[in-house]
Structure 1
């Protein structure tokens, strides 16, 4: 027996592993779109399983909801995305993921002694950040955010 052409909101929630209220939230944000049955029940395309699964994965990778919405807005709502559609999203996401990986690597390297400059070691900061030079670049952990020790900032 072939799978049904559409899914109920409960079936979609179970298939993706989220609550029905989460499906409603994503629907309100435009990530998926319900089709109303004759009985006015929400019905979803099977391709919405992929759209919501992508949203969950992207969130775990650190993408914001706005970034996820922007990527999913490039996909057709009325049919399953093609391999080419997913490849295009992957290519656009690559730069953002590379930047996040670089920040995680900097964090790992600096975490024991400095989160640059935040400041965990006032004695060492006299060497690495004299006169609080990092503050001129802005608030927060400047070196972790990508500023360099020798930036004149």
Structure 2
């Protein structure tokens, strides 16, 4: 079952940049993002499911969970821990700047509608991290993508 709105139900760990942050359902600023959570985009896949597990997080203020996602490199691990499993995704693509309205980056097969050639072309098991860029503005979005490498039951 889907978690209820604004409920934390997972933990995102990004070892390369020292992040450990709760994941909550929804992307409301007041109920989720401004509480220091990373928000799960409604109507995107849940961890480990086929499709795209898409997340949003502040780059500055409110805990700044995605402050340094621009430093992630191909091969870096993104671990999502739930009560029942640990899902390990591996970074393999990024988009340094796109429009805040580029909804393609969080689709089931994530692919930019603004910056052609960025994203994926085949169905799979994906994770997407989105945040504002440049720092201290919300003019554009920075996107980091990864694919599922493993799942371990708890």
Q: Do both share a fold (TM > 0.5)?
A: no
TM-score (norm 1): 0.26
Bigger-Rg structure (1/2): 1
TM-score (norm 2): 0.25
| Structure 1 or 2: more strand by fraction | 2
